[in-house]
Chains A and B, each alone.
Chain A
């Protein structure tokens, strides 16, 4: 990078407070190149205009051909004494062939009539020829002729679009023009505030043609294209202009992208917050559910305790059962013993009673022989206690009482033993019952706790859900403002602003002086063209021409059509002149002006206009000016007949 360029980058770096390496990478990223010095201008000179075809007028076809060769520098004129005699069409054919696409000014029938056309021109000193066949599908070629006359085909084209592309490539590079990028606003939708439009040869070529549309000061593109200010560059080449244009475009694109992005971001933020609060709600619900689940550790601890209690209760229960079994056996034994004793006592009591009763009776008869028992045997029984029947010793009540007392003691003892055993059994059964209730209750608690342990699965599921929700929440709430989608690094807009500012400084430094000089010459020429009331003009960089006319401030857009033509030509002449004087002239030299007389221009003024053109053409040796108009002395006076094509007596130029 040259010293100038290095100084420019440093200035930007200082202004933006960004490292110069970073500035250079931003410049590269946006394809912004420095243009401190303009390449030397190239000169274009028409040497031949030729076209032919058939006029398919009503009833008869009429072949025609037009050929105007040996053209050179200086002022040239296309004249007819009546309108609609083909003057404008000749200029339009030239425009068509140089531009690669006809303008809307070329009438449709003329376009249809022309079957063949070719234009030869010198670019600096090298001859080129554009020739087309336009009958049916357009096709043609661009060739270069070497010094020795050999033809070098530079390009061939088969369609209108190819033709335009070929001419654009050729002239943009041949004239060392940088495509002008400008920002075109769009009102179509909010997301796209506009777009960068690159203007090439089709736009620049407008600087060589002054048609009959005077809406714009320069060129023939509508004002809305934003192109007109840039066309000044075609006449007076201010360094840095294309750099400024592309950096402004980049800045504007960046700003729009940022605006669109911030709008989108605001929407996204809103929906993110909405989504975030939904997720937060879910998260709270899930966390509460998890909190409601007891922790596994607590469960296991409590389960361990319960199991230990249960074990000790069961061990105690086993001991009790064993004791109960023993006590029940003892109780049964005591019961049987007691029963036997009571039964014996009962029997004894019965027997005692029965015996006592029976002893009240003395046997009367022998049960064996039924003989009456004798008194002697009865007396013997009383004295010996020997039975009066069988002689055996009879039992006394004294014995029976002793046995009874003994039996009663036994009944009492065995009853006490039975009662004691029964009570022990009762107590044990009660204790065992309590113990069983305890163990059942423990068993239940163990079951319940174990079942809760099963909730471990549920816990896992909830934990997983929470993790997923937290992830989603984090993702949702993440600020995406620095995400991809916006190509601009935080420092980039700052850098672009600095680039625009620094470049603008450099452009202004040169251009303001130039425009001042141009403005002075505009007044000069316009006055010569008859606008005597014009006392001041200021051409701004934005191609707005403000005027002082009759002591009143006004603008180009506010004056009459005739005045516009004069101002237009005056502006172009002034720019050509100053460009030439200051060594910054960029204009190829070819200028074609259509029908000045069509406007309200007096003979004297027209003469002045043409004279002005002639003087400029004289002052600028590489200038070649074509004027198309009604035949008049004003023109013929200044244009030698060799430089004229003229249709007289209502005839046609072709």
Chain B
């Protein structure tokens, strides 16, 4: 599978855009701020692994009985996303920075984002990603000029919605547990849980 740096960079850019919030106080040339590198990785995991994201949506459906979650999962499977959109990760790469570093470099070199740190007691405790005006305009151009890329924007927004207020470590913890459970059953790389999740979906659809 050919890995394309622009596509990875755009995915990260849409994550930063969807998961960010307006700066307070407002900053010159900055549209929104995405807080936390771990959070960024957690968002990315869900986008790269639609089966895990579907499983999370099913959890939410079970908790809320909100049919919108179920519909979202149905759509994921209907579009064969677990097959077509999955970008598998090897486990020890789980949480690695290198690929994101490439993407972030690409975004930074085009002045689409800026990367800052909040300093607590002289030590950088949290990395924030600022979406620039230029970055925001680039995203809009992207949505106008390249329809194939709409999926990234929409999925990033959905992930952001699902993640809500949860912090990066909370999200990653949940993802890690689900992956570990699946891994014990299969072993090796972070496995696809598409089959089990599809079965869960079918069962829920029947019972709902």
Q: Range of interface residues on chain A?
A: 20 to 34
Q: Quick one: which of A339, A342, A351, A366 contacts B4, CB cutoff 8 A?
A: A351
Q: Quick one: which of A344, A350, A360 contacts B149, CB cutoff 8 A?
A: A350
In the complex, how many angstroms separate the beta carbon of A477 from the nearest chain B beta carbon? 76
Contact (Cβ within 8 A) A357 B109: no
Do most interface residues of chain A lie in helix, strand or loop, or is the interface mixed? Answer: helix
Contact (Cβ within 8 A) B111 A364: yes
Q: A344-B2, A357-B6 are in contact. Are A366 and B84 (CB under 8 A)?
A: no
Closest A residue, CB atoms, query B142: A357
Contact (Cβ within 8 A) A360 B141: yes
| In the assembled complex, B1 has its CB within 8 A of some CB on chain A | yes
Contact (Cβ within 8 A) B83 A343: yes
Question: How many A-B pairs with Cβ below 8 Å?
Answer: 80
| In the assembled complex, A84 has its CB within 8 A of some CB on chain B | no
Contact (Cβ within 8 A) B148 A349: yes
A344 to B84 CA separation, bound complex (whole angstroms)? 8
Q: A344-B1, A351-B2, A353-B149 are in contact. Are A358 and B83 (CB under 8 A)?
A: no
Instruction: List B residues 1-35 near A (Cβ within 8 Å).
Output: 1-2, 4, 6-7, 9-10
A582 to B138 CA separation, bound complex (whole angstroms)? 180
| In the assembled complex, A194 has its CB within 8 A of some CB on chain B | no
| In the assembled complex, A85 has its CB within 8 A of some CB on chain B | no
Number of interface residues of B (CB under 8 A): 27
Q: A344-B1, A346-B84, A361-B138 are in contact. Are A353 and B106 (CB under 8 A)?
A: no
B84 partner residues in chain A, CB cutoff 8 A: 339, 342-343, 346
A353 to B141 CA separation, bound complex (whole angstroms)? 11
Contact (Cβ within 8 A) A364 B10: no
A349 to B151 CA separation, bound complex (whole angstroms)? 12
Q: Quick one: which of A348, A353, A363, A365 contacts B146, CB cutoff 8 A?
A: A353
Instruction: List B residues 72-113 near A (Cβ within 8 Å).
Output: 80, 83-85, 105-106, 108-112
Closest A residue, CB atoms, query B111: A364
Contact (Cβ within 8 A) B2 A357: no
Instruction: List A residues 350-396 near B (Cβ within 8 Å).
Output: 350-358, 360-361, 363-368, 389
B146 partner residues in chain A, CB cutoff 8 A: 353-354, 356-357
| In the assembled complex, A347 has its CB within 8 A of some CB on chain B | yes
A364 to B80 CA separation, bound complex (whole angstroms)? 39
Contact (Cβ within 8 A) A358 B110: yes
A350 partner residues in chain B, CB cutoff 8 A: 4, 7, 148-149, 152
Closest A residue, CB atoms, query B139: A357
B106 partner residues in chain A, CB cutoff 8 A: 358, 367
B4 partner residues in chain A, CB cutoff 8 A: 347-348, 350-351, 354-355
Closest B residue, CB atoms, query A364: B111
| In the assembled complex, B165 has its CB within 8 A of some CB on chain A | no
Contact (Cβ within 8 A) A354 B7: yes
A350 to B153 CA separation, bound complex (whole angstroms)? 12
Contact (Cβ within 8 A) B85 A346: yes
Closest 8 CB pairs of A and B: A351-B4, A353-B146, A354-B6, A367-B109, A367-B105, A354-B7, A354-B10, A358-B6
Give B contacts to A, CB under 8 Å: 1-2, 4, 6-7, 9-10, 80, 83-85, 105-106, 108-112, 138, 141-142, 145-149, 152
Give A contacts to B, CB under 8 Å: 339, 342-344, 346-358, 360-361, 363-368, 389
22 of the cross-chain contacts (CB-CB < 8 Å) are A339-B83, A342-B83, A347-B4, A347-B7, A348-B2, A350-B7, A350-B149, A350-B152, A351-B2, A351-B4, A353-B148, A354-B6, A354-B10, A354-B146, A354-B149, A356-B145, A357-B6, A357-B10, A357-B149, A358-B9, A361-B110, A389-B109
